Amino acid sequence: AQSVSQHNHHVILSEAASLELGCNYSYGGTVNLFWYVQYPGQHLQLLLKYFSGDPLVKGIKGFEAEFIKSKFSFNLRKPSVQWSDTAEYFCAVTISSASKIIFGSGTRLSIRP
């Protein structure tokens, strides 16, 4: 069964710092990968997704993620964070478009203004 690991539970950065949040999954076959974000007081929403093709995926608000198959990783990056990026970030994986989506435990990102 597939699983997702997010090793950073809480990350604290200053504005303009660069961000990288780790995500590793365990499944040997073809996967679809996602990053979701939950801003304070709001519901979860999709940040970006990877199904196939270019392993560098660009999402909303300047976020991007790189799929590295050999490392079973899908890390989220942003070159310069803003205070408004304060949120909880969840990585997720599914082995096909018709199977369940499994989420990681989440990483809380706090940005100091």
The nearer residue to other proteins, 2 or 17, going by C-beta atoms, is 2
Query: Which positions ≥6 away from 87 have C-beta within 8 Å?
Result: 37, 38, 39, 40, 109
Q: Which is nearer to other proteins, 17 or 27 (CB)?
A: 27
Q: Which residues of the chain form contacts with other proteins (CB under 8 A)?
A: 1, 6, 32, 34, 36, 43-46, 49, 51, 90, 94, 97-106
Measured from the CB atom, the residue of 17 and 44 that comes closer to other proteins is 44
Closest approach, Cβ 83 to other proteins, in A, equals: 22
Buried b (16+ CB within 10 A) or exposed e, 29-61: eebbbbbbbeeeeeeeeebbebeeeeeebebee
- Among residues 42, 36, 32, the alpha carbon closest in space to that of 61 is found at 36
The minimum distance between CB 94 and other proteins, in angstroms, equals 5
Distance in Å, CB of 15 to other proteins, minimum: 25
